Homo-oligomer: A and B are copies of this chain.
Amino acid sequence: MEMAMEKQRIVILGGGFGGVYTASELMRRINRISKHEADIEVVLVSEENYITFQPLLPEVVSGAVEQLHVISPIRRIAPGVVLYVRHIEKIDVENKTIQLAPGRVPRTETLKYDHLVIALGNTLAHGMVPGLYEHAIPFKYLGDALRLRNHVVQMLEEASVCHDPEERQRLLTFTVAGGGFSGVECIAEMEDFLRKAVRAFPNISETDLRLILVQSADRILPEMKENLANYADKLLRKRGIQIVLDHRLHEVSADRAIVMNKANKELEVIGSRTVVATVPTEPHGVIQNTPLKCEKGRIVVSDELESPSHPGVWSLGDCAAVPSGEGYTSPPTAQYAVRQATICAENILATIRNQPRRHFKFAGLGKLASLGGRRAIAEVFGFTFSGFFAWIMWRVIYVEKMPGLDRKVRVFIDWMKDIFLPRDITQLNVYDEQQVRREHLAAGQTLFHQGDFGDRLYFVVDGEVEVEVDGKVVATTGKGDVIGEMALLAHKGRSATVRAVKPTDLVSLSSDAFDQIIKYVPGAADAMNKIHQERIEKVHADQAANGAATE
């Protein structure tokens, strides 16, 4: 019994279902049982102080559920846990330490652990599709859903005062990449919201809207049985959603999604100012830098959820390759994560107490997908359901699953309200535009037009752009060049049109950041003036050469 008397620290990384439910289960057992168990400290590190109930995220987009009701405070689910709301800088499994990024107080913090639970889920793999990082909206956290909702309303507002028909169509085209659960539910709820929201915009009609779902497989919802997927496919198409199968997202920029036909490798351009990406995913970067063995990007663990190479390191949820006990690896869903959490908590305590451990075994209960407009599809205990009844079941099951009674009540009230109140179309502009940001241009895309208002300065990281004055190309420029400083320095319209010749990556700076940097950063004003002077001289020389000298 001596071992158990020593102070043991269990550190859990990740504020999703895997991490929070492991913490909850540990606290429940520690609080319940003997006194000396209080010598176990449970620390949870999460980027947020709440857990997001992802199945309801699409309903935040449509406004059927209030924003804050799809999240639940971790402190209330796992009372007594020591919570750090911090980024994780490094996992050091050799020295058994975790390094946390600084918060408001600018000190890094190093946590020692006896047992480590890694439940970091996965993230959008930005590197694989050019422009994805810069211009696609991910769809995983509450922040994503809020941004998407506000972005969609902004598109309607812009379209309502837009005089250019092409631009208007791009503003009213909404593209979702990924035809799995998340993509299908997202586009279904977006359609539901848009159809109701346009009623408040007298000069936008339902038929002006274009919604496109891009899926790389030959059908949507590959996770579900084919008859249900077909039902969903027909329903979405009937509502006017275009479903583009066998196409993969190839490139994204601010005003378009480029998709590739998997059969003939041909590219197709979709003019769209909204691109939501639910694929592809990859493990959290901090895992990739550990010596832990991975399999298809997921940490290899035994059916006791422990790393074979590093005892004391446990992993579960979407980031772990957990044998399901049914001959396959557990799919990355909440129902598996929650059950793994119970086993993980039990096995850690069993290890501390030298007791026998349990093996994870779970066959799954069923699968549900909401299709908006009070329709859903479900596979439960081998039976399949579709339509209104499946939708009621979907609601009942998810409300039941929500952590905390107060959230259950709140979501239930939201749904009641949704029956008789109109949808909210307010656009919350609480998101500051990034002052320094990366941008991607597709070949042929115009960065700005001659005469446009000069609101950003650009540095070319890679690629090639052409500069056009009065309809004539006057220069081509590329890597390392500065674009657009003239309008910012002179506070006037753009003196030329700039268009990408090849796919081009840029870093841009907002005009207010530019003003501050020019004013206060030593050397920046000189460097900028020099570039500006050279450019003016070059323009004059070109004009003289063309016999168009003004003097």
Query: Who on chain B is nearest to A82 by CB?
Result: B161
CB atoms of B429 and A143 under 8 A apart: yes
Question: What string of 1s and 0s marks CB contacts (under 8 Å) between A505-540 and chain B?
Answer: 001010011001101111110111011000000000
A106→B146 CA distance, assembly (Å) = 24
Query: Who on chain B is nearest to A273 by CB?
Result: B104
A154→B431 CA distance, assembly (Å) = 18
Give chain B nearest CB distance to A54 CB in angstroms: 15
11 other A-B residue contacts (CB within 8 Å) besides A101-B453, A436-B512: A67-B67, A75-B200, A79-B200, A84-B161, A106-B455, A107-B451, A143-B429, A406-B421, A413-B417, A432-B434, A527-B527
> How many copies, total?
2
CB atoms of A48 and B523 under 8 A apart: no
Contact of A73 among B171, B200, B429 (CB under 8 A): B200
Give chain B nearest CB distance to A1 CB in angstroms: 27
Q: Is A476 an interface residue (CB 8 A)?
A: no
A146→B461 CA distance, assembly (Å) = 36
A197→B103 CA distance, assembly (Å) = 20
- Given contacts A49-B427, A160-B83, are A102 and B455 in contact (CB under 8 A)? yes
Contact of A482 among B410, B422, B517, B522 (CB under 8 A): B522
Would you give 23 A-B contacts (Cβ < 8 Å), ordered by A?
Answer: A48-B426, A49-B426, A66-B68, A68-B424, A71-B426, A73-B424, A73-B425, A79-B202, A82-B161, A104-B154, A104-B273, A105-B158, A105-B164, A106-B448, A106-B452, A106-B454, A143-B430, A146-B428, A432-B432, A436-B513, A482-B521, A523-B523, A524-B524
In the complex, which residues of chain B have a beta carbon less than 8 angstroms from the beta carbon of A389? none
In the complex, which residues of chain B have a beta carbon less than 8 angstroms from the beta carbon of A146? 428, 430
In the complex, which residues of chain B have a beta carbon less than 8 angstroms from the beta carbon of A73? 200, 424-426
A425→B438 CA distance, assembly (Å) = 34
A200→B77 CA distance, assembly (Å) = 10
Contact of A520 among B105, B160, B413, B507 (CB under 8 A): B507
Give chain B nearest CB distance to A251 CB in angstroms: 20
A517→B507 CA distance, assembly (Å) = 9
- Given contacts A427-B49, A428-B142, are A409 and B417 in contact (CB under 8 A)? yes
Which size bracket describes the interface of A in this complex?
35 or more
Contact of A66 among B66, B421, B449 (CB under 8 A): B66
A455→B89 CA distance, assembly (Å) = 13
Give chain B nearest CB distance to A314 CB in angstroms: 23
A509→B520 CA distance, assembly (Å) = 11
A164→B106 CA distance, assembly (Å) = 13
CB atoms of A429 and B524 under 8 A apart: no
CB atoms of B527 and A426 under 8 A apart: no
A378→B431 CA distance, assembly (Å) = 37
Give chain B nearest CB distance to A145 CB in angstroms: 10
CB atoms of B452 and A422 under 8 A apart: no
